[in-house]
Structure 1
Amino acid sequence: HSLSKTYNMTGWRIGMACGNPEIVAGLGRVKTNVDSGAFDAIQHAAITALTGPQDCVREACGIYQERRDALVKGLTDIGLDVRAPKATFYVWAPVDDCMAFSAKLLDQAGIVATPGVGFGKNGEGFVRFAITRSIERINEAVERMRGLDL
């Protein structure tokens, strides 16, 4: 499990593992021999996040849901066949050629969408949009796409 998305600690490389005590202990032994661990301040921030009030998680979920809904509506309005995800801050859109589609968005509209093929062969035919920007920026991106021949 990671604290990246739940607590907006993306990039901090802090996480946890739970399960069979023998297996988790083995993971701890390997981890101890591979590196020196996460910076103490990050560990303390993680403890605070996990043991403190959880209102921030509910608030973040509401923000991401609003962004997701805005992006899904916008993409649907311009003709892409997208479905609202239930538990992620990415929206995947089916396209004919993910590399060409992503390049067109970048070159002609200044929009970054990740080609699905970068996630393996099953990602071909999809692009991934992140909902990490404000609704205003999401709506602006949709308006830029509206002018393209998608």
Structure 2
Amino acid sequence: MLDNIIEDRDFAALMQKSVEGLIIYLFEKDEHFGILCKIENITFEPPLPREIASEFRAMTLFFLAGYTFETANIIGENLIFEAGFGSDNFGSIVTVPLHSIVQIIVDETPLLINLSNYKKEIEKVKVAETLGVENSMASFLSNPENSKFLKK
């Protein structure tokens, strides 16, 4: 039952809207916050050096304060901010899809927990599309009359 909810597209959209609304609220209140997010969906421009990128875990916490907070913005369906990484403070623009944010945290307390499983929904669509193409081709090839359309 729970899987039916967290994997539902409408639930994912509702959670994304909640994430966006809370971040906008925190921006308006000038309140620094942290985001715990799925690192696999995040992009860095320029890309981080391998020694820095390899330190990230599957779920990574970014704290938006100071300069990072000042540069943060929501553009489309992404939270974008500039941050420095590593001992050399390597600068990169970080793009975090809102659906990848699992928690929003203020003063070590989660204000929002996003339980939606958006990626799984995307994978289901891709698998269904792949199966559809394979089934369509199998149907086409099963008819002997269609052999005239095949290259020899």
- What is the TM-score with the length of structure 2 in the denominator? 0.29
The one of the two structures with greater contact order (alpha-carbon pairs below 8 A, sep at least 6) is 2
More helix by share: 1
The structure with more radius of gyration: 2
- What is the TM-score with the length of structure 1 in the denominator? 0.29
More strand by share: 2
